[in-house]
Structure 1
Amino acid sequence: MPPVPTPPTDPRAQHLMNEQQRELRRLYNDEDSRTEPFDPQTLSGEGSLLLTLEEDGRLLACGALKKLEADTAEIKRMYTVPGARGRGLGREILSALIQAGREAGYARLVLETGNQQPEAVHLYERAGFRRIPNYGYYADMEDSLCFELPLR
């Protein structure tokens, strides 16, 4: 089943993204109690798109596009539940997001991942993303790795 657009207000999607945030906090030993649960409004704006993969009514993977500038969107919220990893679901989501970015007319996609996520780095590099200097919020974060993919 291909990735499908999903409202960020879907409780299953919210649960999936909250799980992603919990996993990242564990991975990076981030005990920041100020971190709030996923806010669906962050993916509700113009140019935003949340895609999910579902099996037997359960969401297994997600990823989103969020408009940053007129010609640039950011890949956000890439996540696959641990029990479904190794099946290529992240690759499916990423490919669909790249296609959606092209169809929306974006000139490039950017993303941030962490230096403790070699599988994610490999996924992005295999899809053609190349390292760029850390941008925006991530500019001074030592654990962050930023990437870009020109679409034109």
Structure 2
Amino acid sequence: MQSVPELKFVTVQPDNPDLRELIEELDEDLKARYPHEMIYVVDFSDPKVKEMTFVVAYQGGKPVGCGGLRPLLPDNSEMELKRFYVEPGSRKMGIAGKMLLDLEEKAAAAGCLEIKLETGIKQPEAIALYVKHGYRQIELFGQYIGDPDSVCYGKILT
């Protein structure tokens, strides 16, 4: 029986090269699905990025996924899941679900009561993951209001 390489989630700084490479891969994937002006990137030059929590998933020491949490309110009671991605060769192995739970635990530890997120209508695999993990469709919020390619989800943390 083949052993599965160890999966670890590491909290990283916004300038982490593994994080940046994974986000570049995510952006390329999104550019293939949507008009370029409709991609909501993280502006790493914005000082507010330092308020975000970023995680990189490593399997057997190789970076295979990432995700971030952005505070929506000053008290952290509401956060947005951002830049959530697992590279194609590591999908369908449960990594995304475990990384999502890790980020939810980090959010709850920071005082978050609700996580919101935006994904695209052309990402059925992402929508299925969020629904499977208890996220419910909500109204478009913030910069996503009026975007016909966006769909938003939320989850109350307990």
TM-score scaled to structure 2, two decimals? Answer: 0.85
Q: Does 1:3 align with 2:9?
A: yes
Say whether residues 1:148 and 2:126 are aligned partners: no
2:132 to 105, 126, 130: 126
The count of residues paired between Structure 1 and Structure 2 equals 149
Counterparts of 1:72-91 in structure 2, within 5 Å, are 72-91=78-97
Match of 2:144 among 132, 138, 143: 138
Structure 2 CA distance for partners of 1:35 and 1:78, relative to 1, 3 Å = closer
Matches within 5 A, 1:2-151: 2-28=8-34, 30-32=35-37, 39-41=43-45, 44-46=49-51, 48-69=52-73, 70=75, 71-151=77-157
% identical aligned pairs: 30
* Partner amino acid, structure 2, of 1:72: E
Gaps of 5+ in 2: 1-6
Tell me which stretches of 4 or more aligned residues in structure 1 moved more than 4 Å. Answer: 34-38
- What's the CA shift for 1:44? 3.3
Distance between the aligned counterparts of 1:65 and 1:111, measured in 2?
Answer: 10
CA distance in 2, matches of 1:135, 1:89: 27
- TM-score normalized by the length of structure 1: 0.88
Structure 1 runs not aligned, ≥5 long: none
CA RMSD after TM alignment: 2.1
